[in-house]
Structure 1
Amino acid sequence: MATIAIAVDDRQKRPRPRTRVLEDERWLAFALLLPTAVLLGLFIAYPFVKGVLLSLSADRVGVSGGFVGLANFDKIWNDSIFRTAVWNTFWYTGVTTVFKLFLGLWLALLLNRHFKGKAYIRAAILLPFIIPTVLSTFAWKWMFDPTFSVINWALFKLGLITGRINWLGDPDLAMTSIIIVNIWRGVPFFAISLLAGLQTISPELQEAAAIDGAKPWKRFWYVTWPLLLPVTMVVVLFSVIQTFADFQLVYVMTGGGPANATHLFATYAYQIGIGTGLLSEGAAISLAMFPFLLLIVIVQLLYIRRVETR
């Protein structure tokens, strides 16, 4: 009887096959990563592959076309509006990123100081980033309206203008307007992210530099900035990706107008693919931004790695 009891105990203590499999780190990692891989495949890989196949065909809404190769890419490259959209996207991304970086860094340095009500001000600064894009953009569109513009009213009261300015009706002013709104929305993201980076820098380094006689500007340039640079590059990388593929803000503000002067990659792809029903050409325009964005991301990642190793 004792022998039977021991055998039963051994069988109970012996791990089941499933348990033995999960004890292997390789199978456990595979089991944990499988749901993520499935989600990425459904919502990222499949749409991307479908877009590539669509750009190589002549499909329209309700009409299945045949394989045309690179004909859609050749067509859009000879499109003057597409070339305008390419220039606008790079200009829009470059200008807004520079201003968001400088204004966000300046704001982060101010918020890093000790003063009364610091927590409330930090929370208030996040409001432009928290408010839904469409809602805040509609408010800005009203502010830029030539008839009811509060901006025109303020400039008129200050004596800076004598007549109405059609902010969204002039190509140059319309581009400037959407750049201003994007900067307004993006500065809080830079400010809070860089503030988090500043919080990780030891105050003792600043104190040691001050004791050695370094001025505030020298302390920032030689102590704070090198330590903050890795965080800054990551924030810039995310901002470039989001701004390069921006759609909501431009679509609500101008719809790509006036006269297709403010189109970006995303808005022009939507107008061609959904507005006119040329799905294949719209997919080609969307994919045209991929090589540019990939190159920008690779360059930034290499620079980030270089900064971290240095």
Structure 2
Amino acid sequence: MAISANEQTLVLDSPSASSQRWRRRFGPDLDGYNFILPAAIIMICLVVYPFLLALYYSVSDKLIGHESHFVKPLWDNFLYIITVDDIFRQTLKNTLIFATVSVVLKMVFGLGAALLLQRAARLKRFFRGSILIPFIAPTGLTTLGWWLIFDPTYSHINWVLANVWPLSLFGLGPYQWLGNPTLALISVILVNFWRGMPFFAITLFAGLMSIPEQLYEAADTDGATTARKFWHITLPLLRPVMAVVILFSTIFTLADFNIVFVLTRGGPMNSTHLFATYSFTVGILNHEIGLGAAISLFLFPILLLVVIFQLRMVRKDADYGG
């Protein structure tokens, strides 16, 4: 039976024919686009849009409850916080010290914990699970616990220094852990280290487990000491994992908010303000959204430099390994 021209047109224009032409044009990649579409929508709504909004606010005079207008020149907010705002310069110094010391401590002790986990024969499952508790526990609750530890009235640390032998012989304390600028910065670094070190330990432990045992056996045959095996086998093969974990930890540490806000709220005397807490104070508490957005965006070039440096290290290690 012959098919008329109208019927042919209906067949060609049917949904199935259209989908087939669409699939032929885009090929097998169409399924991939469908899979990433939900994640892309979430990223646009929760990352791209807030970032673009922050860019707009950073070049405006936005105040809470008021209309916003572009400032002239557009970089006026950035110029103000760089040249006039002394607290911002203190915040920049605090952030660099906080991030550098915290990441170095987490790297050193995390690697040590990973090596201990690798060698733990008894109760290894217990230790591998319990070391994650600081990392998976709610930040607000654990930080409140640390606040009680540092509180001058109920401080467990001051009690130990005053009553436990032989520390009591030295007459140490009581200290204002959160009332002294230097001790307050040390305290927030300590809490960040305590919370983030398990992330290093577990990730580096996974990297250690991926190193072939035959390499250590060959080194033993050649009479290599434990130190030489660590420097010439363990560390070189762990470098890609270390680069990635340092990258993520640096990003999380630079953007830390909860620990500092719960313990000190940036005080005393702005000695513990980070970019996140100071931008929140200026933008939300002081209602100056424009300046707060400009302060928060100063974190972007720092993170960008860290990401570029770490990715270059990862690529270099990958090329070396290849």
TM-score of Structure 1 vs Structure 2, range by shorter chain: over 0.9
1:127 aligns with 2:130: no
Structure 1: 4+ residue segments shifted above 3 A: 19-23, 160-163
Give the letter for the 2:149 counterpart: M
The reply on whether 1:45 has 2:55 as its aligned counterpart is no
The aligned residue for residue 102 of structure 1 is 108
Displacement of 1:139 in angstroms is 0.4
Corresponding position: 1:191 with 2:201:
yes
Structure 2: stretches of 5+ with no match in the other structure: 4-10
Quick check: 1:152–1:165 contact (8 Å CA) kept in 2? yes
Question: C-alpha distance in 2, partners of 1:36/1:19?
Answer: 25
What TM-score do the two structures reach when normalised by structure 2? 0.89
Code of the aligned partner of 2:80: K
Counterpart residue number, 1:8:
none
Where do residues 15-94 of structure 1 align in structure 2 (5 Å cutoff)? 16-17=16-17, 18=19, 21-22=22-23, 24-68=27-71, 69-77=74-82, 78-94=84-100
Judge conservation of contact 2:161–2:173 (CA < 8 Å) in 1: no
Equivalent of residue 177 in structure 2, options 164, 167, 174: 167
2:164 is equivalent to residue 155 of structure 1? no
Structure 1 residues 229 and 76 mapped into 2: Cα distance closer, same or farther (>3 Å)? same
Which of 272, 280, 299 is matched with 1:289 structurally?
A: 299
**Secondary structure, counterpart of 2:127 in structure 1:** helix
Deviations 1:74-96 (A, max 9, x none): 11112110001001111100001
Q: Distance in 2 between matches of 1:55 and 1:224?
A: 46
CA deviations 1:126-179 (Å, max 9, x no partner) are 111111111000000110111110001111122243441100000000000001
1:140-151 superposed matches below 5 A: 140-151=146-157
Aligned length: 301
Percent identical = 46
Q: Is residue 99–residue 254 contact of structure 2 (8 Å, CA) maintained in 1?
A: yes
Aligned match of 1:255 = 265
Instruction: Verify the 8 A CA contact 1:22 1:28 in the aligned structure 2.
Output: no
**Residue equivalent to 1:137:** 143
Question: Deviation string for 1:196-223 (max 9, x for gaps)?
Answer: 0011011111111011010000001101
Runs of 5+ consecutive residues of structure 1 not aligned to the other structure: 5-10
1:260 Cα deviation (Å)?
1.2
8 Å contact kept, 1:265–1:285: yes
Describe the shift of the 1:308–1:37 C-alpha distance in structure 2 as closer, same or farther (beyond 3 A). same
CA distance 1:62–1:153, shift in 2 (3 Å) = same
Whether the 8 Å CA contact 2:60–2:68 is kept in 1: the answer is: yes
**Which position in structure 1 is the counterpart of 2:189?**
179
Aligned to 1:216: 226
Q: In 2, Cα distance between the equivalents of 1:228 and 1:195?
A: 10
Confirm whether residue 308 of structure 1 aligns to residue 311 of structure 2. Answer: no
Name the CA distance, whole Å, in 1 between partners of 2:180 and 2:64. Answer: 33
Q: Which amino acid aligns with 1:88?
A: N
Is the CA contact (8 Å cut-off) linking 2:162 and 2:173 kept in structure 1?
Answer: yes
TM-score normalised according to structure 1 size: 0.93
Deviation, structure 1 residue 33? 2.6
Corresponding letter in the other structure for 1:48: F
Shift of 1:104: 0.4
Q: Which residue of 2 is the match for residue 7 of structure 1?
A: none
Q: Secondary structure at the match of 1:112?
A: helix
Q: Which moved more, 1:168-177 or 1:68-77?
A: 68-77
| Alignment deviations for residues 282-307 of structure 1 (CA, whole Å, 9 cap, x no partner) | 00000011111111111111111111
Residues 26 and 163 of structure 1: is their aligned pair in 2 closer, same or farther, counting only changes over 3 Å?
Answer: closer
Instruction: Give the AA of the match of 1:73.
Output: F
